[in-house]
Amino acid sequence: MGAHAVVLDLLQIPYQKKADVRMEKLMKMAHGFLQEFCRGNHPNQALMHGSLDLFLDKGINNARTSRAIFQDNTRLCNEVTEPVIQHFVRCIETHERHVEYLRFLQTIVKAEGAYIRKCQDMVMQELSLAGEDVLLFYNDKQSFEALVELMCAERSRADERSPLLYHINLVKLLASCTEGKNVYTEIKCHSLLPLDDIVRVVTHQDCLAEVKDAYVSFLNHCYIDTEVEMKEIYTSDHIWRLFESFLVDMGLVCNATSDRKHADVLLERYVTETVMTVITNFFNSPFSDQSSTVQAHQPVFVRLLQGSFRVLNCDWPNPQQKYQVENCIRTLSDIAKSRGIAIPVDLDTQITTKINRATTLVRTSTRWLLASRTSKRDSVSSGATGLGDYKSIIEGLQDIVYILEGQLRPLVQAELSVLVDVLHRPELLFPPNTEARRKCESGGFISKLIKHTERLVEEKEETLCIKVLQTLKEMMSVVDGYGGEKGEELRQTLLTRYYSKSNLRHREGATGKRDKRECRAGMMILSRAETTLQEVQCHLDNEGATSLVVQLIIKSPSQTIFLESVSLGIALLEGGNTDIQASFYEQLTEEGRSEVFFKVFFDKMTEAQTEIKATVTVNMTDGFSRPGVEKEESRDDSHKKHKAKQNGRAIPEELSHQMEDAALQTRQALAQLQRSRSEDDIPKPTFMEDLEGGKEKKDDKKMISSAISVMQPILRFLQLLCENHNRDLQQYLRSQNRKTNYNLVCETLQFLDCICGSTTGGLGLLGLYINENNVKLINQALETLTEYCQGPCHENQNAIAFHESNGINIVTALVLNDINPLGEHRMDLVLELKNNASKLLLAIMESRHDSENAEKILYNMSPKQLVDSIGHTYYLTDPNEERDELEKLDMCTRALRATPLETDGADAKDDDDDDEEEESVSPKEVGHNIYILAHQLSQHNEELARLLKPGIISDAKAEAALQYYAQHTARIEIVRADRNMEQITFPVPQVCQYLTEETRVKVFNNVEQNVQGSKVEGFFELADDMYSEMCWQRKLIGQPILYWISQRMGLWSSIAFNLTVLINLIVACFYPFPKTKQELDPKISGLIWTAILVSLAIVVTLPRPSGIRTLIGAIILRMIFSVGIQSTLWLVGTLNVVNKGVFLVSLMGNRGTFTKSFRATITDFEFLYNVCYLALCILGLCAHEFFYSLLLLDVVYREETLLNVIKSVTRNGRSILLTAILAVILIYLFSIVGYMFFQNDFIIDVDKQSEQLQIEQELATEAAMAATCPAGAVNCTEPDIPHAEARRLAGGKASKSDDDDGGDDKEPACDTLVKCILTTLNLGLRNGGGIGDALRQPSSSEQLYVPRGEVTSVR
């Protein structure tokens, strides 16, 4: 409704504050409305925070409203600036001492049970600079008497403007500023309120409970619960004087009247909470163990225990107060036992009984409480108690909620996804050929939405602005999660409702027509956008998305909008979009935006470093307290094992008479659970170990603050700006050439130095600063720094290498040292750190022709240590296992699915699923990077170069690692754009060993050279196919038979060619095949057997291809004369068909044809060629032997020389074809001329056959064909006349006919234009003199003699 906006406008109306009483009352009511508007409502507080400047004016109402804005809102309290704090401190100085100003300061230093250290420091700084008008203390004798008078005056306790109430709130403010072991504020508060003054005030007989509570709370946070030891509190008698005062107060609350209407609630709360907390913290402090004052004050100690026990036995304490008292009693009892302090026997017995009873009750109640919170639980039996029925109802409701949530969540996701579909194609919402549709097609809708987002920021509509930014980011989301079948069905229904059916069909048709193979490699298809990710990014950029990101980051209205803006920028840059990078560069270089833009990032980095320095903790618990953790985990596991039995567990008999206390104890457990989440200063009691609160509190302490975590998206954004080696942005991040330059490159290195503890790593302390919570941030910093340098960018390399911080030393230490205790249980994170660190060092030395950076890296690194690190990393896992085989197999599988020839919808979905999975780094890969680093550094260090040579290292494991990496490392030389030659060292993946020898030879021989004589371009065109083949070969090992066949593809090919040559030799020598088996001379037969035996002996002793061919030839020759030519030819042909089939299987196995789609298979030329080859083999076996002759053409495909000969013709085939077409056209024109003018000259001599001779030749041909037995025939029909006789008869008849006819006949050859064209083509091309040799010789007296001579000479 915007009611707050109306009230804010009302508050800005000017009026006379003293004269206009009604207006003053109205303004007070308006402030009251705004205060209630903000109470417990974070979104409303965020709305009001945008108008905070309206309340930064003197006045109590303004202070109350400002306090309501920040009340229990940690996010807003973290955004408080120094001017705000200075304003309220100045109001106290110039306006009046009022408690509302102090309460505002109390609000911002502690919110939602957590202290805000930044606000503590700022408030303490302003208070220390303020004068006596703000700091009202009663330190001297005269002022102390005034304090006593104020405490004796009853009206001072109720008047908010009284100095007493102001003084109490001031002490509470100081206590809040020192809470959380803030050393900075503790030191300042010691001088403001010494221990002597605290004791003097608290021990005075007229001291009020409110004053005692404030002073003792300050004592607890400033002197007892501190980071450093305050010797004064542990060595002097001040604390024991306070303990004696505590005993008096305990007696007062225990002896008070039982009438609760007249009870002193403030004193009771002071005793049960503040006093008990101070006693517990004092004796639990590690510094009190060294104090000897406890032995000297044993009577007071025993009285404290007795007084606490009396308070516990009272009826008025609530569960939370009882918990505090029990905790104090337990602490005192433990101290007495550990220090040998004598306690009365009856008191000890009563305490033990009470504590054990409370422990049992609380644990039982806790189990009931935890059981009620379980999402899924079997219902309690019908005979259970009332509590069981209550639990049954709760569990039933929880089951219903759980089921509904599982069913409705996919539908909600699908409904939200429709908004993104609409934004991708908003024009489909409008009818065709309308103005609205044309505007949407041109991007007007998205453009208006982006411009409206800027207006939302200006109008303080942060929630809606964040929603729009998230939706724009969702438009570039690759994951298409529609919530299963039901979600997809709902989505299609909504799309049909929003779009018409025709528009929806058009949308689906456009999607179906788009082939993923049209996109370049690396592009991702967005199904909802019907286009690629890069095109969507560019579309949003054209409509102003890049400008929106820059504007929002510059304005930075809030932390949330800043994060969403950076996330949108990351989505725009994802995938290395160079167009978006250029757009960002253009946006930043114009209108002087860069200075403000980079200042925001610089300030965020500086703030993160400040926060790290203020909250850094050394991670020693993981390394030295693992047994305790394991014990706790085992205890949790045992608790989970018995969880299923809790509902049906019977109540113990000793507790049956105390069922009336069960509800009370349950409330006590719940109060402890809530308090353990909010109160960090209360230690966890032993008898509450099973509660979850303590564990949650422990986990919360390990989490990094938002000021530090914001660096994750910032560094990712900067990394993407420099992606693809963008030289302009790499240098621009270092220097903007403005009046004020912000070097984000060095600042990133400084951040890495800060988060790693600013240590050089030489003392082995680096691992104490790295844990699971910040390791991801450290990795991102390393990746961003690497991207700054790659390309290379020499300026950034020098900036990082020679920076004054310890950054480069930390990176070196990450490579060399063990990172413990993180490495003891998360070695995968350590390997990722080492991998990124080694890549950064390689990037710093990339394309460096000098040794400056290498010497800087080697300065804190010994060569022996680097070599040992290589071996250590290599053997992080079992060296006998193939550790990375599964990862390589998965990688190959994804690569095969990602090839353009076989992409489909299912594969794309699988790719998306695989991309979401986090890939771990293998130890071999990390060790390989370190080895390449050592190899690069060895060029500048002789000792390191010597150690890398084989046989130098005495350690066998390190030597084995070096040999492995040396065998799997290669080097190439490249020529950069500046014409400088550079050596590139790179690891050879293990998958490369699976490349077949046939493919290597084929690529080496068949890849064509370019104009410069290089084969690199052609090689990269075949890289995808070779990679797919290697991956398939790796998977093929799992199929032994197919792998054995595939590995011998060259052998099958050679056998096939040799069999083809042998078959054609048989056909050429013996065709037509004789009917009967020929007898062989015994001498020749013996010679053949001798050849068989000799060649067999040679094959056995010295196997050579020539010997094998001789043996096979001799055997075939023997079979021809033994079993017959046709049987031998049929046997060899069958072997050829079988062998070619095996070769085809081998080819399919090597090429991975089994995994390709049908379309990809039938378009594979080599596969089709061999299928045709197999078909010819079958035709030669079954149809006719002459088909075998076509197989000899395979020699062209096998031999590169012949193939090049064919290519020399076919390469210019188009020119030859066009020349032939031109020749045909010219002949056609000349034929027309001849037909029109020289038709009578086309008289040619012909030799006609007689009809009888034609009949006889036909009979002879039929007889010759009948004399031939077809291949594979069993019975051949006997011809009527012998074959030779038929030929003789046909020849004789022909001679006779020639003799009878005698002479030649002539006939015209140009009666029709077709005959004229055919005659010209036939005789004109065959005759040496052209068509003129075949025409009639004309007389010189003829009229067309000269024209005809010219025409025939041309032809």
pLDDT at 655: 38
Q: For residue 618, is pLDDT > 60?
A: no
Report CA torsion sign: 649, 653, 659, 663: negative
CB-based contacts of 640: which residues, under 8 Å, 6+ apart? none
3-state secondary structure 178-200: HCCCCHHHHHHHHHHCCHHHHHH
At residue 1135's C-alpha, the angle toward residues 1131 and 1136, to 5°, is 115
Q: For residue 362, is pLDDT > 70?
A: no
Strands 981-987, 1243-1246: parallel, antiparallel or unpaired by DSSP?
Answer: unpaired
Quick check: 899 and 1028 in contact, CB under 8 A?
yes
Q: Model confidence over 405-453: pLDDT tens digits?
A: 777 777 887 777 778 888 877 877 777 888 887 888 777 888 888 888 8
Q: For residue 403, is pLDDT > 70?
A: yes
**Nearest to 494, CA basis, from 482, 478, 509:** 482
Which tokens sit at 552?
Answer: 């929002």
CB-based contacts of 1241: which residues, under 8 Å, 6+ apart? 1234, 1335, 1336, 1338, 1348
- Under DSSP, the state recorded for 899 is S
Q: For residue 162, is pLDDT > 60?
A: yes
Name the residue with tokens 């619960």: 225
Radius of gyration of the CA atoms of the chain, in A: 48
What are the percentages of helix, strand and coil residues in the chain, rounded to 5?
A: 70, 0, 25
DSSP-derived 3-state class of residue 1244: strand
The more confident residue out of 816 and 1355 is: 816
pLDDT at 227: 74
pLDDT at 779: 92
DSSP-derived 3-state class of residue 135: coil
Report the chain's mean pLDDT, rounded to a whole number. 75
Q: What percentage of the chain carries pLDDT values higher than 70?
A: 74
Q: For residue 736, is pLDDT > 60?
A: yes
Torsion of CA 1326, 1328, 1331, 1335, to 10 degrees: -110
Tell me: cis bond preceding 1072? Omega within 30 of 0 counts: yes
- Under DSSP, the state recorded for 1164 is -
Q: Model confidence over 1314-1327: pLDDT tens digits?
A: 888 888 887 777 76
Of these ranges, 91-100, 787-796, 1202-1211, the one predicted with the greatest mean pLDDT is: 787-796
pLDDT at 390: 65
Q: For residue 41, is pLDDT > 70?
A: yes
Strands 981-987, 525-526: parallel, antiparallel or unpaired by DSSP?
Answer: unpaired
Q: Model confidence over 453-480: pLDDT tens digits?
A: 888 888 888 888 888 898 888 888 876 5
The more confident residue out of 562 and 674 is: 562
At residue 319's C-alpha, the angle toward residues 314 and 325, to 5°, is 60
Q: Model confidence over 109-135: pLDDT tens digits?
A: 888 888 888 898 888 888 888 877 788
Relative orientation angle of helices 545-555 and 578-589, to the nearest 10 degrees: 50
CB-based contacts of 583: which residues, under 8 Å, 6+ apart? 541, 546
Reported confidence tier of residue 377, pLDDT bands at 50, 70, 90? very low
Q: How far apart are CA 227 and CA 781, in angstroms?
A: 31
- CA end-to-end span of the chain: 98
The more confident residue out of 661 and 597 is: 597
Q: How far apart are CA 1277 and CA 1268, in angstroms?
A: 9
Name the residue with tokens 């991702």: 524
The more confident residue out of 1122 and 1064 is: 1064
Q: Model confidence over 1096-1141: pLDDT tens digits?
A: 777 677 676 766 767 777 777 777 667 777 777 788 888 888 888 8
Q: What is the mean pLDDT of residues 930-957?
A: 82
**Nearest to 1067, CA basis, from 1183, 907, 1186, 1159:** 1186
Torsion of CA 1254, 1258, 1260, 1262, to 10 degrees: 180
User: pTM of the predicted model, to two decimals?
Assistant: 0.53
974, β-bridge pairs: 982
Cβ burial 802-839 (10 Å sphere, 16+ → b, else e): ebebbbbbbbbbbbbbebbbbbeebeebbbbbbbbbbb
Name the residue with tokens 């009878």: 1300
Q: How far is CA 388 from CA 400, 639, 673, 1353, in A?
A: 18, 20, 21, 120
Q: What is the mean pLDDT of residues 1017-1032?
A: 78
DSSP notation for 53-118: GGG-SSSHHHHHHHHHHHTT-HHHHHT--HHHHHHHHHHHHHT---HHHHHHHHHHHEETTEE-HH
pLDDT at 497: 78
How many C-alpha atoms does 439 have within 13 Å on its Cβ side?
A: 11
CB-based contacts of 556: which residues, under 8 Å, 6+ apart? 562, 600
Amino acid at 488: E
Q: How far apart are CA 1265 and CA 1257, in angstroms?
A: 12
Q: How far is CA 58 from CA 32, 101, 173, 477, 569, in A?
A: 17, 10, 20, 50, 42
